[in-house]
Amino acid sequence: MANYYNIDDILTEEEFVPVVFHKAANGVIIDPSSETNSVEQGAKVELPLWLAQELCLRQAVSISVPACFNQKTRLEIQADAACVDLRSRSPYFYEFGCKIAPLVGDKTVEVLLLSAFKIRYKEILTKAYTAAHTATSKFLTLLTKEETNLYEAAQSSMAAFKKWRKGGPRLQRASVLGRKRKPIE
């Protein structure tokens, strides 16, 4: 697994998806509606992606489209992608969508992700370079993790450019050492 130690990948795979069990399983307490410690064939359960995808590959379950890609969200994205609060759907909206798409066999998820990303990417870059603080702070709360990373990268490269143009102190306290404490007088 190329991304074995990648934190974002691990967190993405904790997102829950709705599954239907094709096979029963004994000795597990993953179905809250079950009275025994087992899952029945035909049971509908919400499982984390890491479990669902492996079971799906072995044909023990089938996965349906998760709530965050439902009709309501799609309509909102079509109306005005830049204003949709994707983070509340999932902070890993895009990564999650990419992993889900081949498993649910729904081609429209890919199209949705791409169109949302294109529109929002433009907004992100514009806001990063114009840096009007009050307008942007609400916008930032709508961004997914990946989008936030892009925004911060754009901002920091802009700041570095400005700093290079201006000159100024170039050596700094190593950031890994944390914030400066007040000097003891």
Partner 1 sequence: MHGRKAYQLVKDFASGEKGHLKSFNNELFDRVIEECNEHHNALQSLIRKMQEEGLEVQTAKNADHYGALIHHLSLIRNKRCLMAYVYNRAEIVRELAWNVGLLHELPHEIQEKLNETEEQYFKDHSKSLKLYMSQMNLDVNVDMVPPKDPYIKVRVLEDLGSGIILSDKTANFARHSMHFLKRTDAEQYISRDKDVSY
Partner 2 sequence: MASGSEEWSAAQIDDYETLVSTTDVELLKRAWRNEKAAPEILPFEEALVKRAKEQIQLMEETVDDFAESGHDPLIASLYQMDLDRAQFLLRSYLRVRLQKIEKFMFYIWKSDTHRNRLSKEEEKFTERCIRDIGKHLEETVLSKLADNYQSLLKQSIISEEDDMVPEPQLDTFVVAKCQRAMRPLYLDGSRQSASFDRDDHFQMVPGDLCILHYRPFQEELMSGNISLV
Binding site for partner 2 (CB under 8 A): 1-6
Cβ proximity to partner 1: between 48 and 105 the closer is: 48
Pick from 35, 39, 147: nearest CA to 89? 147
User: Under the criterion CB under 8 A, does residue 132 sit at the interface with partner 1?
Assistant: no
- What is the full DSSP assignment across 77-108? HHHHGGG--HHHH-TTHHHHHHHHHHHHT-TH
Please name the helix (run of DSSP H) or strand (run of DSSP E) that holds residue 45, with its range, or none: strand 44-48
In whole angstroms, what is the distance from residue 61 CA to residue 56 CA?
A: 5
User: Under the criterion CB under 8 A, does residue 44 sit at the interface with partner 1?
Assistant: no
Q: Which does 2 bind (CB under 5 to 8 A by kind): partner 2, partner 1, none?
A: partner 2
Q: Which does 180 bind (CB under 5 to 8 A by kind): partner 1, partner 2, none?
A: partner 1
Whose structure tokens read 């009050």? 134
Q: What would the two tokens of residue 158 be?
A: 């802009």
Cβ proximity to partner 2: between 2 and 184 the closer is: 2
CA geometry: angle at 131 spanning 127 and 136, to 5°?
Answer: 60
Cβ proximity to partner 2: between 31 and 147 the closer is: 147
Q: Which residues bind partner 1 (CB under 8 A)?
A: 4-7, 10-11, 14, 23-28, 30, 38, 47-48, 50-51, 54-55, 58, 60, 169-178, 180, 183
